[in-house]
Structure 1
Amino acid sequence: MNQRLSWRSGARLAALAVACCASLVSAKKPAEANAGYAVSGSCAGHPAVTSLKMAPGFCVGLVASDLGAPRGVLPLPDGRVLVTDRGPWDGQRGRLLALSFGEQGEVQLKVLLSKLDRPHGLQLDAAGRVLIGESGRIGVVDLRPDGAVLKPLIEHLPTAGRHPLKAFIVAPDGALIVNLGAPTDHCESSDPAPASAPAGFLPCPVAEGDQAQAALWRYERVKGEPERWEGKVLARGLRNSMGLAYSPLDGALWQAENSRDSLPGPVHDSATRPFDELNRVAQGRHYGWPYCTEADLRDPAFGSFDCRQYTAPERLLPPHSAPLGMLFYDASQAPAAWRKSLLITLHGYRPTGHRIIGYPLSPKGQPAAKPITLVEGWDAATGLHPMGAPTDIKADSKGRLWVTEDRNGTLLVIAPVVQDPR
């Protein structure tokens, strides 16, 4: 592995701060630029999309379109909604957007930050500060009346390879759990061994050791130096941990795994395998990538080993479904079937993707054996709706779910129909 992975945050925040005055953009009304959605009526004060198959008790509204490539979403206590626009994949053209809403449903869009490097994740920390994940760093967004100031917290994260976007989550104790993401599909660029390799384990460098990149890292403030953070590996063998959520029931960290795309040598059924995964993350565990996928789909290119030495997934998600957003949902306004559930956005373009599913939880916090569906029927239908591309998902205090779609450039809201706050 060529890149050294001992990252630290900079202490000179004032010198590194990036300021940006907000620019007001004339947001197009959904009826004027609807990204292929036909709308009729109202959902939570926004034009309702009526052609999708929704779970009973919910509606979906088209909030805004023409947002670029929206990835992360974050509803704020003051009623605004923040969205990251990833921008082009070549970087340095991403944005942080703020959407506010008038009493008649009109949308006002402000660009708070620009020239960002492929921003993705958005979270609030315990102090109520907005945190944003760019490709190579995690930063704090200081929201001001005239715009925002960005101050780096954790820098020099890896940016090369297939998974440069940074998803992260704030732990209950204030630490940051950051997905680094494997640079390859199945460690193919490391050329571990031909399929005919002799017996003996041949490890993948980015999945092993205290500098593993196919991993979740835990970052904590350095004692006595509150502006400096240092990190270490929390769990290894995770190809791309885009969905992260802490359970409010038992405090466990859950991860939705984007599994490898291509299958090991003797396996050829790439249409229906491999499955993506739902993992319960524990300190020091190895979850098998790239050696084992699902529970026991072994890759012989890495020599001789037993998949039982790795932690198996708790649940198998649909194959090639690309889980990206995830949250525990327990809104009192929601239908009873959806209270205490784990929601996951499936972003994939294959038939198993472009939908939102949920797992009802047991009293002990264990997901049900099979998911239920919140939104489906999201295949492209001319004149009705485009193929769905649900990316991130967050809930607000009113039980509404805010969903970004990067391929369609939209922000949607999914709301319980028992109440309409506007």
Structure 2
Amino acid sequence: MKHIFLAALLSLPLSVHAQEIGKITEIASGLNGPWSIGFLPDGEVLVTEKRGKLWRINRDGKRDEITGLPASEEKGQGGLFDVLPARDFAVSGRIFLSYAKAGVGTAVSMARLEGDRLVEVTEIFQMQTDSTGGRHFGGRLAEAADGMLFLTMGDRGDRASAQDPARHNGTIVMIDPGRGTAVFTKGHRNPQGLAFDMGGQLWAHEHGARGGDEINRIEKGKNYGWPIISYGTHYSGAKIGEGTAKDGFEQPVFYWDPSIAPSGLAIHSGKNWPAMAGRFLVGSLKFDHIAVMVAGGSEQVGEIKTRETRRVRDVREGPLGGIWFLSEERGALYRIAPPE
């Protein structure tokens, strides 16, 4: 496990450890608190805003608002979170949305996109919790090849709850749409990145406290230790839990110290960009860059830092192998093309 944070900045022309990147293009601007990117098979893009808006953006950057969304509550860090078109979207028109639901916490709905409206909106999951705070909702979604849906949830600012088996705080759950839900892993603080690699392995990253942001290999039934073990400290500098390791709890594959406030995770396929194959791409809200990790996430080998990468909230690989990202500060969606 590595825990080195490389702070070398990149200058134009851009490179990532001598790996050139292509042109950065602004796809859309004027977004208010953008949170998530979802690609449609016709080349259009869906983007959520935390305040409860969903936009369809066409190839020319024109935006149309999608109506009919489930009600979300913008409270602290809560609001509308991820948008995920289903793998079978071309046939079913289905999308999944995660969001903070008033009086509940994190919830997920399934709907069908018909024109610029969601229809047949069905809630398929809501959090089991008694936490009422406005922090650490998680909210990232990923769909497995077999159609199983995975959702992250944070501890809601209630640290001990992440080890409480009666609550969903601090878990990643597996949802069989329309059939049922099961807790997949436990002991997470606030997972803000979730993705499958090309081999079907699920990965997540999560916020630590002061230091201790983690990348974890997600395996069914495992406990990732929060708040009993951590590589971070409380913001006061006080020790967290019992140390950095304990029997029965998983170790991170990688951790950052200082924290980068990670958000969004893409694991690149190498399509049209062979040098990026297997790379983990992690947005940083704190340091305004995209961290570039080796395959497996065990080492940071560089960063993409430009005037556009201000508070990166989401990172995705696009249909043609480009790197797409949302800048929360700039209120914009960007695409980085593979090098020519």
- TM class by shorter-chain length? 0.7 to 0.9
Q: Alpha-carbon deviation of 1:54?
A: 4.7
Corresponding residue pairs, total: 306
What residue in structure 1 maps to residue 104 of structure 2?
none
Match of 1:86 in 2: 50
Instruction: From 93, 106, 112, give the equivalent of 1:142.
Output: 112
CA distance in 1, matches of 2:28, 2:48: 13
Residue of structure 2 equivalent to 1:275: 212
Q: 2:34 pairs with 61, 65, 70, which one?
A: 70
Partner of 1:367: 297
Which blocks of at least 5 consecutive residues in structure 1 are unaligned? Answer: 1-49, 88-93, 188-203, 222-227, 262-273, 379-384
Q: Determine if the alignment matches structure 1 residue 399 to structure 2 residue 321.
A: yes
Q: Kindly state the Cα deviation for residue 306 of structure 1 after the two structures are TM-superposed.
A: 6.2
Distance 1:72 1:150, change over 3 A: farther
Alignment of 1:18-417 (within 5 A): 53-55=14-16, 56-87=20-51, 94-101=52-59, 106-113=60-67, 116-117=71-72, 118-128=79-89, 129-136=94-101, 137-149=107-119, 151-157=121-127, 160-161=132-133, 162-164=135-137, 166-184=139-157, 187=159, 204-221=160-177, 228-249=178-199, 251-261=200-210, 274-294=211-231, 307-334=246-273, 336-348=274-286, 353-361=287-295, 366-373=296-303, 375-376=304-305, 378=306, 385=307, 388-417=310-339
Find the aligned partners of 2:125 and 2:334 in 1 and give their Cα distance.
Answer: 32
Unaligned runs of 5+ in 2: 1-10, 73-78, 102-106
Looking at structure 1, the residues matched to 141 and 300 of structure 2 have their Cα atoms a distance apart, in angstroms, of: 26
- Residue by residue over 1:50-95, the C-alpha shift from the partner in whole angstroms, topping out at 9 and shown as x without a partner, is 96845413221122211111110012110111100111xxxxxx11
Matched AA of 1:111: E
SS in 2 for 1:337: helix
Cα distance in 2 between the residues matched to 1:256 and 1:318: 14
Query: Matched residue of 1:408: which SS?
Result: coil
Query: 1: distance between equivalents of 2:147 and 2:21?
Result: 35
Distance 2:214 2:244 in 1: 21
Q: Could you say which residue in structure 1 is the equivalent of 2:3?
A: none
Structure exhibiting the larger radius of gyration computed from Cα positions: 1
Q: Distance in 2 between matches of 1:135 and 1:52?
A: 41
Residues 155, 367 of structure 1: CA spacing in aligned structure 2 closer, same or farther, 3 A cutoff?
closer
Query: Is the partner of 2:23 in helix, strand or coil?
Result: strand
- Kindly tell me: are residues 390 and 145 of structure 1, through their superposed partners in 2, closer, same or farther at Cα, counting changes over 3 Å? same
Residue identity matched to 2:81: H
Alignment RMSD: 2.9
Q: 2-side partners of 1:333 and 1:304: how far apart? A: 44
**Per-residue CA shift, 1:158-182, capped at 9, x if unaligned?**
6832123521211232222111211
Task: Name the CA distance, whole Å, in 1 between partners of 2:21 and 2:66.
Answer: 35
Quote the Cα distance in structure 2 between the aligned partners of 1:400 and 1:150.
Answer: 33
CA deviation after TM superposition for structure 1 residue 220, in Å? 2.0
Cα deviation digits, residues 347-369 of structure 1 (max 9, x gap): 22xxxx211122232xxxx3353
Residues in 2 aligned to 1:296 and 1:170: alpha-carbon distance in whole angstroms = 33
Q: Distance in 2 between matches of 1:306 and 1:333?
A: 40
Distance 1:215 1:281 in 2: 11
Cα distance in 1 between the residues matched to 2:275 and 2:185: 33
Whichever residue aligns with residue 58 of structure 2, its letter is S
User: Is the Cα–Cα contact under 8 Å of residues 85 and 96 in structure 1 kept in the other structure?
Assistant: yes
Q: Distance in 2 between matches of 1:387 and 1:414?
A: 11
Per the normalisation by structure 2, the TM-score is 0.80
Residues 257-289 of structure 1: CA deviation (Å, up to 9, x unaligned): 11124xxxxxxxxxxxx2211111111111111
SS in 1 for 2:275: helix
Change (3 A) 1:308 1:155: closer
| 1:142 to partner: Cα distance | 1.8
Displacement after TM superposition at 1:371 (Å): 2.7
